[in-house]
Structure 1
Amino acid sequence: MKVGAPGKPRDPFSAALETLRDQLRNGRLVSGEPLTVTDLAHDLGLSATPIREALSRLAGERLIEDRRGRGYFAPRLDVSDLVELYGLRRLYLTEALAADGESDAIPAPETPDAALPATVQLTQFLDWIVARAGSRALFDAYRQVGERLAPSIRVEPQVFALADELAGLHAALGDRDALASALALLHEARRLRAPDLIRALRAGANIASL
């Protein structure tokens, strides 16, 4: 996949970083495969330097692994990883709900919009909960978990009825306890069905590689 298409950033580092980040989010790099600089440079039509810099940045964000002496490796999500990450995301959301944030400064999400994918609406809703807490450190930690969960979030519609979950979250707006309960149920469902999410994720990765 070359990165010289219209609309792509001209800066080689930005192009490499954006393309690799998209591949991680889309679940194309989730099997623990080695990320070889020369191979990626050839595939993306870039020199080795921006590829190496992009891999270093992604490793610093803990989105890929830097195995000292062995190189960079794509993450390998498994059931235990999803259980841990969804649990951590719930903790951040619970902390955000408990915070005395700027609830009036950030408008609440509008009612579900059929024109937007349910995954986008759900992400926007959860982002709003954390943003209104007014803590940059909390939001950064939450966003990092979201990046690591991105491949799983992409396949959630194959496992869950997101429209129903969104309706439940919107119905709970204005009632902190009800919203906390709805978030707990949402995350516990994902922890329990982590094996189904992994199967959907692996199937998507296999299709993308054909």
Structure 2
Amino acid sequence: MVRSREPYVLAFSALAAGLAEGRYGWGRPLVVTEIAAALHLSPTPVREALARLAGEGLIDHRPGYGYASLAFTGADLADLYALHELHLLEAAGRSAFNALPKDLGEDDVRAIEGFFRALVLRTGSRALDRAHRRLMAQLGPALRVEAQVLGPDRNGLRRQRACYDAQDRVGLIEEIQRWHERRKQSSRAVVEAMRAADQSIFQI
């Protein structure tokens, strides 16, 4: 029985990973036959995987047109940033300030997302973890463009980590709020850059 589900698992895993990496860009069609051919699968498990992703809000389903990667407006992206901020404020409020991983890095968007991920994981809340992972999948297409639009904010990351290391909960909360205010203000510019770049290249 498990073997009969393997094609679906392959399709879902490949698509979810691609979405999290921003591989499908802004509002690009997700064509069942093309995905199935690239994965060497029949269309049925691909269609099932796309239906689940649509149900989880990770892609759009347009009746009569099929599936597509999310096409944000500036307001949509600002809302996602605001929700991300709420997740992190909850994590900061619960934090026991346990030691962070040593391999978070310092210089790129993956470093700050790694730090945020560590904050969430250290709450021990599976519900918050699941919600945060889903949100990160929705934000995936925007993250690479965000880094280009905003540029690195290494000092902001260092301040957040310094507050964490000092167990300064108030300071950490203020830094998270400052970081996300900058993101929310940039949301329209990020979406415009996503549209202009149309950076989705179908590679699995």
Distance in 1 between residues matched to 2:156 and 2:146, nearest whole Å: 12
Match of 1:170 among 161, 186, 203: 161
TM-score (norm 1): 0.79
Q: Is 1:151 equivalent to 2:146 in the alignment?
A: no
How far the C-alpha of 1:52 sits from its partner, in A, is 1.1
Q: Is 1:188 equivalent to 2:178 in the alignment?
A: no
Q: Structure 1's 87 and 23: CA in aligned 2 closer, same or farther, altered over 3 A?
A: same
SS in 2 for 1:66: strand
Distance in 2 between residues matched to 1:206 and 1:21, nearest whole Å: 17
How far the C-alpha of 1:188 sits from its partner, in A, is 0.6
Match of 1:91 among 77, 86, 89: 86
How far the C-alpha of 1:191 sits from its partner, in A, is 0.4
How far the C-alpha of 1:70 sits from its partner, in A, is 4.9
TM-score (norm 2): 0.81
Distance in 2 between residues matched to 1:62 and 1:21, nearest whole Å: 12
Distance in 1 between residues matched to 2:194 and 2:46, nearest whole Å: 25
Identify the structure with bigger relative contact order (alpha carbons < 8 Å, sequence gap 6+). Answer: 2
Distance in 2 between residues matched to 1:164 and 1:205, nearest whole Å: 30
Distance in 2 between residues matched to 1:111 and 1:73, nearest whole Å: 34
Match of 2:195 among 186, 195, 202: 202
How far the C-alpha of 1:171 sits from its partner, in A, is 1.9
Q: Structure 1's 30 and 112: CA in aligned 2 closer, same or farther, altered over 3 A?
A: closer
Match of 1:62 among 42, 57, 66: 57
How far the C-alpha of 1:148 sits from its partner, in A, is 0.5
Distance in 1 between residues matched to 2:104 and 2:63, nearest whole Å: 46
Match of 2:71 among 66, 69, 76: 76
How far the C-alpha of 1:12 sits from its partner, in A, is 2.9
How far the C-alpha of 1:97 sits from its partner, in A, is 1.7
How many residues are aligned here? 194
2:129 partner letter: F
How far the C-alpha of 1:16 sits from its partner, in A, is 2.0
1:128 partner letter: A
SS in 1 for 2:198: helix
Distance in 2 between residues matched to 1:136 and 1:199, nearest whole Å: 34
SS in 1 for 2:67: strand
How far the C-alpha of 1:186 sits from its partner, in A, is 0.6
Distance in 1 between residues matched to 2:176 and 2:30, nearest whole Å: 36
2:134 partner letter: Q
Match of 1:119 among 109, 122, 140: 109
Q: Is 1:142 equivalent to 2:127 in the alignment?
A: no
Q: Residue deviations 1:12-41, cap 9 Å, x none?
A: 323322332233234343433443322332
2:161 partner letter: H
Structure 2 residue runs of 5 or longer lacking an equivalent are: 1-5
